[in-house]
Structure formats: structure tokens, C-alpha cells
């Protein structure tokens, strides 16, 4: 009898988490219809709802990715960066950190910084790469857990663009959502302006994981029906 009860309990738990997985992974849901007027934009919804106390996480991916993210923040500063917002900034290089600190002087919101190590340095051997990947995964998990704690029971948004580190960050957010049944991440990924005909490798992965996937060129909507298009954002 005890084995029957145990088996039933395990089956129930497996069913709950299977359903939860289906609910939090967007690729399991029906593809959204093509967006022409931007009414479904999560950023526009934030403006319409006049959100206070927003917890916003962004990741600066260095170089051009950092430039695009900073322009995106400036273009939506009235929605995202008011005095009640807490901006959590992930970065992987000091140059991006300097640019963000310089720009943040003009923001009214509170800003917190988190350093995400690169998973692999150019030219590193396999042994060295494996070590840095493990360290990077554990360190990024600790950062994501900390950020999630700030987001609990508050309006929140995860805004990403750029390199492969965004895949690690998104995976950790989704795993926490899977384990903690009553949380959400609300992840928006904005594909690079340089991607006109095809997605980046990061984009191809996050197309299936991001809650809202945004492309900046209309031609990318046809092969990727889950994507949304609101014109040039950066």
C-alpha cells in the first residue's frame, strides 16, 4: 500500500511539474499573430499600467550589444527608468560598466551592478574552458537568485539582447520559475539591429525561451512567427 501511495505521489508531482514546464516555456504555446501596431508590446503595457516599483534586469553584452542596450534604455527611459525603478545591471567587461555608470548619472532610478564572468576566453584550452564554464554557471546562478528575490511580488522585467551569456541567464530564470511554482520572469529578448535576414545564434536559442521575442526588421517575422516587430528600437 505504501508503494502505491508513493507511486501516486511521484506521479502527481511529475504531472504538476510537466504542466508547469509547458506553462513557462513559450515554445509550447501557440505562435502569436503578426503584430502590426505594437499594441501587444510589454513595454507599452508598462506605460499604460503606470507601473511603480519596477524591478528591471538588463545584461550588457559588450561592444555593439552594450551600445544597443543603452540606446534602448534611453529610448524607453520614461517607462523603465523613473525614480521608483530599481535597475539591476549585469555586465561582463569593464568598458561596459564604465559606460553604464556614466549614463546612470542621468537616471533617477536606483542602480545595482552584478559581474558575470565570460564562460570562455578566446584561445583557452579545453581544461581551462571547462573550469571557467563551471565557475561562470555557479556565479551567474547566485546573481540570478539574488535578482529573483528582489523581483518577488513586485512588477518586474528581464530585458536582454546580445551574447551567449544571455542563454545562461535565461535558463537559470526559467529553472527557478519551474521549481518555484508561483513566480514568473517576464523575459523580453530584443534581437540585434544588425540581424536583418537571419537570427543570431543566441537569438535562435532564446526564440524558444524568451516570453517575448522582438525583431527590429519586418523580414524576420515570416520565418519566426513567434517574434514581434515594433520598428527600429535602438
CATH for 92: 3.40.50.80
The tens-digit pLDDT sequence of the chain (234 residues) is 577 777 778 887 888 778 877 877 887 665 444 454 445 566 656 655 556 789 999 999 888 899 999 999 999 888 888 888 999 999 988 999 999 998 888 888 899 999 987 765 555 555 666 777 787 888 899 999 999 999 998 999 999 998 888 999 999 999 999 988 788 889 999 999 989 889 998 999 999 999 999 999 998 998 998 899 888 887
Q: Contact, 87 vs 98, CB < 8 A? A: no
Domain for residue 155, yes or no? yes
Length in residues, the chain: 234
The whole-angstrom separation of Cα 106 and Cα 173 is 29
Q: DSSP state, 203? A: H
Q: Which of 159, 157, 158, 161 is nearest to 199 (CA)?
A: 161
Domain for residue 112, yes or no? yes
Structurally, the chain folds into a number of domains equal to 1
Domain for residue 75, yes or no? yes
Q: Contact, 180 vs 197, CB < 8 A? A: no
Beta strands in the chain (DSSP E): 55-60, 86-91, 110-115, 156-160, 187-190, 212-215, 228-229
- Give the pLDDT confidence score for residue 34 in this predicted structure: 43
Residue 34 grid coordinates: 503578426
Which domain does 165 fall in, by range? 31-229
The whole-angstrom separation of Cα 60 and Cα 53 is 22
- Give the pLDDT confidence score for residue 117 in this predicted structure: 79
- Give the pLDDT confidence score for residue 124 in this predicted structure: 54
Which residue has cell 555608470?
A: 101
Torsion of CA 61, 67, 71, 74, to 10 degrees: 80
Q: What is the pTM of this model?
A: 0.86
Domain for residue 152, yes or no? yes
Domain for residue 35, yes or no? yes
Domain for residue 46, yes or no? yes
The whole-angstrom separation of Cα 26 and Cα 208 is 6
Domain for residue 207, yes or no? yes
Domain for residue 26, yes or no? no
Q: Contact, 202 vs 166, CB < 8 A? A: yes
Strand bridging mode 212-215 / 228-229: parallel
The whole-angstrom separation of Cα 206 and Cα 209 is 5
Amino acid at each position: 500500500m505504501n508503494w502505491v501511495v508513493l507511486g501516486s505521489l511521484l506521479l502527481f508531482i511529475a504531472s504538476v511539474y510537466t504542466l508547469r514546464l509547458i506553462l513557462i516555456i513559450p515554445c509550447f504555446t501557440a505562435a502569436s499573430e503578426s503584430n502590426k501596431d505594437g499594441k501587444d508590446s510589454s513595454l507599452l503595457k508598462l506605460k499604460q499600467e503606470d507601473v511603480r516599483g519596477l524591478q528591471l534586469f538588463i545584461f550588457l553584452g559588450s561592444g555593439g550589444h552594450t551600445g544597443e542596450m543603452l540606446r534602448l534604455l534611453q529610448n524607453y527611459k520614461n517607462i523603465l527608468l523613473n525614480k521608483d525603478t530599481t535597475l539591476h545591471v549585469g555586465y561582463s567587461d569593464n568598458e561596459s560598466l564604465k559606460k553604464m555608470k556614466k549614463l546612470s548619472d542621468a537616471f533617477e532610478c536606483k542602480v545595482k551592478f552584478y559581474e558575470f564572468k565570460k564562460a570562455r576566453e578566446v584561445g583557452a584550452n579545453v581544461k581551462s574552458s571547462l573550469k571557467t564554464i563551471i565557475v561562470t554557471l555557479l556565479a551567474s546562478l547566485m546573481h540570478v537568485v539574488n535578482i529573483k528575490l528582489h523581483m518577488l511580488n513586485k512588477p518586474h522585467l528581464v530585458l536582454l539582447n546580445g551574447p551567449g551569456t544571455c542563454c545562461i541567464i535565461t535558463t537559470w530564470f526559467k529553472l527557478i520559475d519551474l521549481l518555484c511554482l508561483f513566480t514568473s520572469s517576464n523575459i523580453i529578448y530584443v534581437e540585434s539591429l544588425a540581424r536583418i535576414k537571419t537570427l543570431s545564434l543566441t537569438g535562435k536559442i532564446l526564440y524558444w525561451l524568451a516570453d517575448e521575442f522582438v525583431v527590429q526588421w519586418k523580414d524576420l517575422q515570416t520565418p519566426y512567427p513567434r517574434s514581434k516587430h515594433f520598428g527600429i528600437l535602438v
